[in-house]
Amino acid sequence: MKIRFQADESLSYALIQAALRLEPSIEFTTARQAGVLGLGDPEVLAVAANGGRLLVTRDKATFPQHFADFIAHSESPGVIVIPPHLTIAQIAEELFLVWLVMDAEEWVNRITYLPVEI
């Protein structure tokens, strides 16, 4: 199955737009569309999991531990953490490549930092 992305609150709309410019058929839900603005990490992970969406975040400080806690009792479609040194163009290209060559099943209960080694 194709990957469907879910942005958390830390992801800019410009980044989502850049990814969609590379491939308009990518499903990329914003934090606002998903209703996760202002929610804590565990709730954001639950919304992404319920929607079957791979969560994309810039929050490397708290998401890894919350993700570990989450998968101890639930299944997650996975998380991609974006490091601060990458540009919007680099991030968009990396997400496009992930979407292009990987299946959603490969991401279950996996957390990875960009760039992804495929």
Strand pairing partners for 5?
A: 28, 54
CB count within 10 Å of CB 68 equals 11
Token pair belonging to 33? 């569309």
In this prediction the pTM is 0.94
Q: What is the pLDDT along the chain (118 residues), one digit of tens a residue?
A: 999 999 999 999 999 999 999 999 999 999 999 999 999 999 999 999 999 999 999 999 999 999 999 999 999 999 999 999 999 999 999 999 999 999 999 999 999 999 877 5
Residue 106 vs residues 16, 65, 100, 111: alpha-carbon distances, Å = 22, 21, 13, 11
Q: Let me know how long the chain is.
A: 118
End-to-end CA distance of the chain: 17
Token pair belonging to 105? 């099943």
What per-residue confidence (pLDDT) applies to 116? 76
Backbone torsions φ then ψ of 109, nearest 5 degrees: 60, 30
pLDDT in tens, 92-118: 999 999 999 999 999 999 999 998 775
Domain-wise residue ranges, the chain: 4-113
